[in-house]
Structure 1
């Protein structure tokens, strides 16, 4: 909706229509969205027969925001650093079976023809702020338009009905996940910051070369700059994956998970994508919620802790005296 062609009265009328259809804006699980009860009547959920999980199954991923870092303590007193990831209003928008999925850019995945595509959207927004063509992507599903859309490769037995919400119960504490994000953009940087070079001495005859790379061995038969030589250049703004991160804690009230490490790619409040890990020794040994956790009404604790983590609500860590 273009502001220069719409009067203030028409804007108010459009907002009333949107709120009558989808409900008023609301803060649900810490995420700005629209009232869920209004939207459930419009969502066109299709029924898909579920199949049992196998070790060859590939589940969908989710879209999350990196909201910060926080320390946790194990029961043996060890301190670990974790990163908080919040799954933000995810819904399944569309499923494309393997025989119809023909991506324009072919991903480097083995046996691509055996996987389908699941289109997942995150963060509902006001449809009056988007184009008619973009809103048409959500017409068949009945969902409110999403700010972000991501395609996930899934095995046919892991297909999820359109309109199904995805939240943090898609994973379990103790499981391992891979997190994909875009690193912070640092622009053009020298070798000291980009590659951690020591640099030249600060004095004793050194002039104007304190932070330069020095000799790169370009003489003799080499006579050129070999590919892969560490030199100044653009730093950051690259897609990177942190693999094999354990989930230590889950909060179902705000859809937040605590995962290992403090070097997950991306800036604070940036988007990341979470998958089941592909590391062979850290894959699922038992069946996870497959293809996802459908029952959203299960009553349970807001915080779910891994067995080895000290719960802050429990007593302080104590040690038995040595005999």
Structure 2
């Protein structure tokens, strides 16, 4: 149902509105959601207060599952470790995230039911998270109704995350980049770049046929696709030409970067900017192009899960006596403000 309403959005019609009509609608929107402002480097509206009392905060324990965030991939950046090793990082900006709705475990029904029976079917609930506030005029009435209970502006992007009942968050709560900690391993889900219909050499990396010596018009063809023998058919899953990209892929913090002598996991957070809500994640393999949307959450790998309690159920700025610094670095990362070479006087 959510996907249906989302597809109906972003349709602009020529409603023949005058300047007076547009200014009146703008005043109504600002009276309901607050004036337009720039928060964390993103143009949005003033954060709406919670309509209900905040939920009671649970206690973190190993194995509990927290919510994730929606971020934009804004580029890549080289960084250096303390031992001089050069590593590349991907910059992900958490853009105007808010909790829209919480669905308890007994009421939540996934869109796709698993084929195999689950041992604990009612173990997790669901948190609906939205990102990037948008003018209500660009959406349908039904889609805007999803945000009535939380009192928030309609969001351009939505995402659902499985959470434990102890990690439930009150709708209307903002989610920041400080939801994660430096050095934490995360999983990132994104959609790969759409390449269209491609051949086997680009899609699967085939070598192709020889360029000369009697080869005619088969230089980029796959070659034989038969299995031989009495089977006499093309086996399922054979690599052939077809549509490349435009698929959701999850990059898990499983592979170790062998180019780095520190042997850090690939999807480890190296740096966090709390002013603009930007995460520096080690690696270049995040699915999607620049300015694409991705979903970040705690890793589900058993040996990469956090051993120390992260902000639970999320980061609340009011819980701190002093605000966080603008930049939080990993202890193994070299800061650009630190000296690179130190000379000592010798006699």
Normalised-by-shorter TM-score class: over 0.9
Asked if 1:66 is matched to 2:66, the reply is: no
Q: Secondary structure at the match of 2:323?
A: coil
Q: 2:82 aligns with which of 47, 67, 75?
A: 75
Worse-superposed segment, 67-76 or 287-296: 287-296
Structure 1 partner of 2:103:
96
Question: Is 1:235 aligned to residue 244 of structure 2?
Answer: yes
The structure 1 residue matched to 2:57, chosen from 50, 54, 60, is: 50
Q: C-alpha deviations, 1:136-156, integer Å up to 9, x for none? A: 111111111111111111000
Question: Does structure 2 retain, via aligned residues, the 8 Å contact 1:75–1:317?
Answer: no
Counterpart Cα distance in 1 of 2:23 and 2:292: 32
Match of 2:336 in 1: 312
Matches within 5 A, 1:247-266: 247-266=269-288
**CA offset at residue 113 of structure 1?**
1.6
Quote the Cα distance in structure 2 between the aligned partners of 1:238 and 1:107: 20
Q: Which moved more, 1:177-186 or 1:102-111?
A: 102-111
- Alpha-carbon contact 1:25-1:32 (below 8 Å) kept: yes
The TM-score normalised by the length of structure 2 is 0.86
Cα distance change, pair 2–233 in 1 and its aligned pair in 2 (3 A): closer
SS of residue matched to 1:105: coil
- Helix, strand or coil: the match of 1:77? coil
Q: Which moved more, 1:58-67 or 1:217-226?
A: 217-226
TM-superposed CA distance for 1:48, in Å, is 1.5
Give structure 1 stretches of 5+ with no counterpart: none
What is the number of residues matched between the two proteins? 316
What is the 5 A alignment of 1:1-323?
2-4=13-15, 6-36=17-47, 39-40=48-49, 43-106=50-113, 111-244=120-253, 245-296=267-318, 298-316=322-340
Please give the secondary structure, in 2, of the residue aligned with 1:264: coil
CA RMSD of aligned residues (A): 1.9
Q: Distance in 2 between matches of 1:22 and 1:7?
A: 23
* Cα shift readout 1:58-87 (whole Å, capped 9, x = no counterpart): 000000000000011000000011100000
TM-score normalised by L of structure 1? 0.93
Alpha-carbon offset, residue 180 of structure 1: 0.1
Q: What secondary structure sits across from 2:281 in the alignment?
A: strand
- CA distance 1:154–1:106, shift in 2 (3 Å): same
Give SS of 2:178's match. Answer: helix
Moved over 6 A (4+): none
Q: Is the 8 A contact 2:317 2:323 kept in 1?
A: no
What secondary structure does 1:223 align onto?
coil
